[in-house]
């Protein structure tokens, strides 16, 4: 393998995580909870345990105990042990490393030649004594280990590992041999194996052939085998084991065997017990002595071995099933987890699904697939496969003793539940209906019927055998509960009588199922539609003639009923149909019983008068049957709907005109009433006209008359919508209804009781004044209804909430912006009151009320003071967190007493006033007091000297104060709310610390028209003091930045400085950096 270097005596670290190959073979002994599968895609992916830096490793916790992580920047692995990351590259040969469990990627390794004479081996560089592997204590010496790697056969070139395990605890010793699959049948050979322990773990990892599909898997899988190389290869050959096959059984037994070893079993006994339990789980009687001897593609002269190989083939097929690669791996893993601790497979659902698959498996297809791989030896796996699903289905064995036995699948989890099978003496086959239905029946009586055990098929005993009764199976048995039922079989109708089927008459089957009819009803036959039957005297009978075929029977209940048939007319009289004339048929008899009746015949209306049909007048037939109406009522004619009639003075008369057609008559009782008349109707609507009844004549009504018709007297100011024209509004004023204005329509009347009330009409607000609605001012409408408070409280506008008001001297007025920001008005009631707002640790804003205005002042409350005994100057100081800082730049200059200061400190541009405001600019040698005038801690420091100082440096600061170092500046920044990492450049964006420490004035912005001053929250008062560049003797101050000296050296020509300023992108920054030690910058001192 490319990752395993071939060197004889060189110790190397197996960086398993980088190459994506895990020593998982033995990782399940005591470390991985028994999960013995380790599948991956054919292309191995990075597992995420390689990181770039130490910081990216994360914490070493209990959950990560034993994990290794490769760190790229260190080019080495780290092991998580006892909550500490251990650098594996620092473990020396003479030290014992931590007790690494098998499979841990922290194992140290050594490799030897991998030629044909020597296979590659890897051993721990710290704990493995490679000299011992050449001595006489070897249990296995220069032995070639061969075998086959099978799920189906593993792909040529798949890696194979043999790892030595300790005898006492089966832990990984560190010795590993590697080779690869050397044929398409899965063969491998690991030559020259030497071991101190007889126990080993063999792992194969790769893609495999699938016996079901015949193709290679897309995903890779790892299979394991635990072996004792001290045991004999077989009972017949008492020679050391040199063959270890890796297969699905060795893999399934693996975790269970390890569990049993931990419980005190020997390796042999544990494997034996695990194999027996696996075969029991799969309902197989197979006995396995050594699972690593089995091969699914090997012919053995030993029948037991052949059956075991066949059983191994069955296991492989059952786990393959119709699953995807991922599902196959999941099924194997699930079995191992379920099986490990108790040796029992509890997943009945999966087991049953496997049995269902086994019943439909394509055995010839599987054999064809294997043959296509140039493998001819395929075990006879059909018998153990049948044994498996027979037992899962609860069928048991099939032998001569159970010949023709029929049994159902009793497994309710099966898709084939309750399916019946029949034993042919050696195999269970699907049972036919006839085989399963009468199974177990004894002889019956001749002609006896019986329903099948499984299906609804009816059988009849013919005197010697039970045979299918086709008629009874089709139409059912004839019994008391279906007496009279008619059914059809084979074209013949039968009726159930006296518990036997008899041939039915035409009447019986044609009327079968009919319910009782009505007397005289006629119906066509259910079978013979051309035959008719009538219902008379409670039963159906055949129709007597063609008249009854159509009209039904003339029964007593239909006496005098008339019907027409084929142009002729008939009357039911005395239980016979009698033919009558067309006139009698149309009008009936005119007799005293129908005197006055109006009837129509051939579009002519007749009235029965004196037993004679007479042509009726329009009034007679149009109002025929009408009862007395109400006075003035109008109706459309009964025959001619376009003619109208009105009721007046107790009789109906013809309407006089179109108005009466619509409204009826204007009679005395309707005097003064108003009615609406529709003039026309179209898709756009209807048009109307209103009339008022005056002196028995309909007259056009006015709009006011229409809209207020029927109204009673209202209350003064009341507004109502018109009854007819709903877009009109009326107001009750001065004792009568009259048209209302638009404002009165919306707000009602302005009465004495509503004086001062505010309301909105349209877009305007109105106030009721002197019984007239007047447009209200914004102050009036916004303060309407509000209480005038005397404490300066600000209220929102009632209508426009964005407007705010305050009560001053008994009336409301507008507020100003400052009153809004303080949420309190300065009014006459609180004259002289004061509001104090805490701005920061150093400032308060104080507002006092005078003449309805708040007067603002600003008070700084946080400064202390420092007097420099050397020149008597006093400086402001400020406490920030745990530190006390000067709140001004240092301005000490005494070149007479301290002659070394001459020409080494400056006022900006040699301007004395600049020193008073901004302080002096100092070179680093003066700042550090390089001559040791005040203290010796900065002695010797200056331009072009190397000066590393770790202790506190007073420098040129006043007594009891010193130059702040980088750490103290970082403490300051952290206190005011900013993070900083030494060595980084200025952050993109705005530094919170820079804002807090800068003064509130004096700062310019670069390119952006924004406020670039600070908040000076802590009174630090950093000003843009400028700088002096000694190399060019240039003074520079752009009001964009200020630079402070630190006692930390950057290199022999440069010092660390702290810079606060405004960036070209408009940002406010603070940062550390290096500046020339010969240039001049500001000093801030911090208290000791």
Q: What is the pLDDT of residue 446?
A: 82
Q: Name the more confident of 1067 and 779.
A: 779
Q: What is the pLDDT of residue 1008?
A: 55
Spatial CA neighbour of 248 closest among 153, 160, 137? 153
The H or E element that residue 737 is part of is: strand 736-739
The average pLDDT across 304-316 equals 92
Q: Name the more confident of 928 and 90.
A: 928
Predicted confidence band of residue 589 (pLDDT cuts 50, 70, 90) = confident
The average pLDDT across 742-764 equals 85
1035: phi then psi, degrees, rounded to nearest 5:
-95, 135
Q: What angle do CA 995, 1000, 1003 make, to 5 degrees?
A: 80
The average pLDDT across 592-612 equals 83
Q: Which two tokens mark 949?
A: 């100082």
Q: What is the pLDDT of residue 427?
A: 93
Cβ–Cβ < 8 Å for 552, 521:
yes
* C-alpha neighbours within 13 Å on the C-beta side of residue 856: 10
- What whole-number distance in Å separates Cα of residue 284 and Cα of residue 273? 15
Q: Which of 42-56, 178-192, 574-588, 596-610: highest mean pLDDT?
A: 178-192
pLDDT > 80? residue 866:
yes
- What whole-number distance in Å separates Cα of residue 474 and Cα of residue 856? 108
Q: pLDDT by residue (tens digit) across 1055-1082?
A: 999 998 876 554 556 677 788 888 999 9
pLDDT > 80? residue 107:
no
The average pLDDT across 569-596 equals 81
The average pLDDT across 147-161 equals 96
pLDDT > 70? residue 1086:
yes
HEC string for 30-59: CCCCCCCCCCEECCCCCCCCEECCHHHHCC
pLDDT > 90? residue 950:
no
Q: What angle do CA 903, 931, 1028 make, to 5 degrees?
A: 30
Q: Which of 208-212, 614-618, 831-835: highest mean pLDDT?
A: 208-212
Q: What is the pLDDT of residue 36?
A: 40
Q: pLDDT by residue (tens digit) across 391-443?
A: 999 999 999 999 888 899 999 999 999 999 999 999 999 888 777 777 778 88
pLDDT > 80? residue 89:
no
Q: What is the pLDDT of residue 108?
A: 27
Q: Name the more confident of 750 and 124.
A: 750
Instruction: Tell me the β-bridge partners of 774.
Output: 767
The predicted model scores a pTM of 0.43
Q: Calculate helix-pair angle for 325-339, 267-281, nearest 10 degrees.
A: 120
Query: How many other C-beta atoms can be found within 10 angstroms of the C-beta atom of residue 601?
Result: 13
The average pLDDT across 97-105 equals 35
582: phi then psi, degrees, rounded to nearest 5:
-65, -40
How is residue 908 annotated by DSSP?
Answer: G
353: phi then psi, degrees, rounded to nearest 5:
-60, -40
Q: What is the pLDDT of residue 1019?
A: 86
Predicted confidence band of residue 119 (pLDDT cuts 50, 70, 90) = very low
- What whole-number distance in Å separates Cα of residue 1077 and Cα of residue 1084? 17
Block residue for tokens 């044909």: 116
Q: Which of 245-249, 540-544, 575-579, 939-943: highest mean pLDDT?
A: 245-249
How is residue 481 annotated by DSSP?
Answer: G
Q: What is the pLDDT of residue 841?
A: 57
Residue 966 burial by CB count (10 A; 0-12/13-18/19+): exposed, middle or buried? middle
Q: Which of 464-468, 549-553, 653-657: highest mean pLDDT?
A: 653-657
Q: pLDDT by residue (tens digit) across 1020-1030?
A: 999 999 888 87
- What whole-number distance in Å separates Cα of residue 221 and Cα of residue 328? 10
Q: pLDDT by residue (tens digit) across 67-82?
A: 888 887 777 888 888 7
pLDDT > 60? residue 247:
yes
Q: What is the pLDDT of residue 351?
A: 96
Q: What is the pLDDT of residue 320?
A: 96
Q: Which two tokens mark 145?
A: 């280990």
pLDDT > 60? residue 101:
no
Q: For the chain, give every domain's residue range.
A: 11-390, 396-431, 449-510, 522-565+572-580, 585-616, 634-701, 719-776, 864-1087
Buried residues in 1061-1085 as b, exposed as e (16+ CB within 10 A)? bbbeeebbbbbbeebbbbbbbbbbb
Report how far apart, in Å, the C-alpha atoms of 964 and of each of 101, 874, 931, 969, 1007 are: 53, 20, 19, 7, 33
Predicted confidence band of residue 251 (pLDDT cuts 50, 70, 90) = very high
- What whole-number distance in Å separates Cα of residue 676 and Cα of residue 919? 101
Average pLDDT, whole number, for the chain?
A: 82
The average pLDDT across 710-730 equals 87
Q: pLDDT by residue (tens digit) across 881-919?
A: 899 999 999 999 887 888 878 888 899 888 888 899 999
Q: What is the pLDDT of residue 1033?
A: 55
């Amino acid at each position: 393998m490319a990752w395993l270097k071939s060197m004889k005596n060189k110790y190397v670290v197996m960086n398993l995580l980088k190459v994506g190959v895990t020593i998982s073979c033995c990782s399940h002994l005591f470390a991985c909870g028994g999960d013995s599968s380790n599948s991956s895609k054919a292309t191995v992916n990075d597992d995420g345990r390689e990181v770039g830096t130490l910081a990216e490793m994360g914490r070493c916790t209990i959950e990560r105990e034993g994990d290794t992580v490769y760190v790229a920047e260190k080019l080495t692995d780290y092991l998580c042990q006892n909550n500490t990351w251990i650098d594996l590259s620092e473990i020396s040969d003479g030290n014992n490393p931590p007790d690494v469990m098998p499979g841990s990627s922290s194992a140290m390794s050594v490799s030897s030649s991998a030629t044909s004479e020597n296979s590659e081996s890897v051993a721990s560089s710290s704990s493995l004594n490679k000299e011992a592997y050449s001595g006489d204590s070897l249990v296995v010496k220069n032995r070639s280990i061969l075998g086959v790697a099978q799920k189906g056969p593993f792909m040529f070139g798949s890696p194979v590992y043999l790892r030595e395990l300790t005898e006492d605890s089966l832990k990984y010793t560190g010795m590993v041999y590697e080779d690869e699959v050397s044929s398409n049948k899965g063969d491998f050979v690991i030559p020259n194996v030497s071991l101190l322990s007889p126990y080993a773990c063999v792992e194969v990892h790769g893609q495999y052939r699938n016996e079901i599909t015949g193709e290679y898997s897309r995903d890779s899988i790892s299979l394991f085998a635990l072996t004792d190389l001290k045991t004999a290869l077989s009972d017949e050959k008492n020679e050391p084991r040199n063959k270890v096959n890796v297969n699905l059984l060795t893999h399934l037994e693996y975790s269970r065997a390890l569990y049993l070893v931990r419980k005190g079993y020997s390796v042999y006994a544990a494997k034996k017990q695990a194999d027996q339990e696996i075969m029991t789980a799969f309902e197989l009687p197979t006995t396995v002595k050594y699972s690593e001897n089995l091969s699914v593609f090997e012919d053995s002269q030993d029948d037991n071995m052949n059956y075991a190989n066949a059983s191994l083939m069955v296991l492989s097929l059952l786990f393959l099933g119709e699953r995807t690669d991922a599902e196959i791996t999941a099924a194997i893993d699930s079995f191992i987890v379920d099986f490990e601790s108790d040796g029992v497979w509890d997943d009945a659902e999966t087991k049953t699904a496997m049995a269902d698959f086994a019943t439909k498996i394509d055995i010839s297809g599987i054999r064809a697939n294997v043959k296509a791989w140039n493998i001819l030896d395929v075990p006879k796996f059909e018998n153990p496969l049948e044994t498996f699903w027979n037992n899962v289905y609860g069928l048991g064995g099939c032998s001569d003793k159970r010949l023709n036995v029929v049994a159902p699948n009793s497994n309710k989890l099966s898709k084939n539940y309750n399916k019946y099978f029949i034993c042919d003496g050696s195999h269970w086959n699907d049972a036919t209906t006839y085989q399963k239905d009468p199974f177990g029946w004894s002889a019956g009586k001749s002609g006896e019927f019986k329903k099948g055990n499984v299906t609804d098929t009816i059988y009849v005993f013919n005197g010697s055998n039970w045979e299918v009764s086709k008629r009874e199976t089709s139409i059912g048995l004839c019994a008391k509960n279906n007496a009279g039922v008619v059914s059809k079989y084979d074209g013949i109708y039968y009726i159930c009588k006296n518990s036997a089927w008899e041939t039915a008459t035409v009447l019986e089957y044609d009327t079968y199922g009919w319910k009782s009819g009505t007397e005289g009803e006629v119906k066509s036959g259910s079978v013979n539609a051309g035959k008719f039957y009538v219902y008379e005297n409670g039963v159906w009978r055949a129709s007597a003639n063609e008249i009854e075929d159509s009209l039904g029977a003339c029964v007593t209940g239909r006496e005098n009923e008339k019907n027409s048939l084929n142009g002729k007319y008939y009357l039911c009289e005395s239980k016979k149909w009698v033919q009558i004339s067309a006139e009698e048929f149309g009008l009936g008899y005119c007799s005293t019983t129908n005197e006055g009746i109006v009837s129509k015949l051939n579009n002519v209306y007749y009235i029965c008068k004196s037993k004679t049909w007479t042509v009726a007048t329009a009034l007679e037939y149009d109002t025929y049957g009408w009862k007395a109406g109400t006075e003035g009522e109008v109706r459309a004619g009964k025959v001619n709907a376009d003619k109208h009639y009105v009721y007046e003075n107790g009789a109906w008369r013809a309407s006089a005109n179109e108005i009466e057609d619509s409204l009826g008559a204007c009679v005395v009782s309707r005097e003064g009433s108003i009615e609406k008349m529709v003039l026309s109707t179209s898709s756009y609507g209807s048009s109307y006209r209103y009339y008022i009844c005056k002196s028995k004549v309909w007259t056009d009504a006015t709009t006011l008359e229409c809209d207020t018709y029927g109204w009673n007297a209202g209350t003064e100011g009341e507004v109502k919508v018109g009854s007819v024209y709903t877009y009109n509004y009326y107001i009750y004023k001065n004792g009568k209804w009259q048209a209302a204005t638009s404002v009165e329509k919306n707000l009602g009347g302005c009465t004495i009781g509503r004086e001062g009330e505010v309301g909105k009409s349209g877009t305007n607000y109105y106030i009721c004044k002197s019984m007239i609605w007047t447009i209200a001012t914004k102050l009036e409408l916004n303060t309407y209804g509000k209480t005038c408070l005397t404490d300066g409280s600000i209220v929102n506008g009632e209508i426009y909430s964005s407007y705010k008001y305050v009560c001053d001297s008994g009336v409301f007025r507008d507020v100003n912006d400052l009153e809004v920001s303080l949420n309190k008005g300065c009014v006459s009631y609180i004259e002289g009151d004061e509001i104090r707002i805490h701005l920061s640790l150093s400032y308060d804003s104080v507002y006092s009320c005078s003449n309805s205005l708040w007067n603002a002042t600003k008070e700084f409350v946080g400064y202390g003071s420092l007097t420099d005994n050397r020149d008597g100057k006093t400086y402001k100081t400020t406490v920030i967190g745990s530190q006390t800082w000067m709140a001004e730049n240092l301005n000490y200059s005494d070149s007479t007493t301290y002659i070394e200061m001459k020409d080494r400190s400056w006022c900006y541009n040699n301007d004395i006033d600049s020193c008073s405001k901004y302080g002096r600019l100092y070179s680093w040698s003066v700042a550090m007091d390089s001559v040791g005038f005040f203290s010796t801690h900065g002695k010797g420091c200056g331009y072009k000297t190397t000066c590393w100082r770790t202790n506190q440096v007073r420098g040129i600061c006043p007594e009891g104060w010193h130059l702040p170092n980088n750490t103290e500046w970082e403490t300051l920044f952290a206190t005011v709310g900013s993070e900083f990492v030494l060595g980084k450049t200025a952050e993109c964006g705005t530094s919170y610390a820079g804002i807090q420490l800068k003064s509130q004035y004096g700062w310019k912005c670069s390119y952006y028209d924004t406020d670039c001053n600070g908040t000076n929250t802590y009174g630090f008062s950093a000003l843009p003091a400028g700088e002096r560049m000694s190399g060019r003797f240039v003074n520079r101050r752009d009001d964009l930045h200020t630079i402070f000296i630190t006692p930390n050296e950057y290199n022999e020509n440069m010092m660390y400085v702290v810079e606060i300023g405004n960036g070209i992108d408009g940002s406010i920054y603070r940062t550390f950096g290096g500046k020339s030690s010969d240039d001049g910058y500001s000093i801030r001192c911090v208290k000791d």
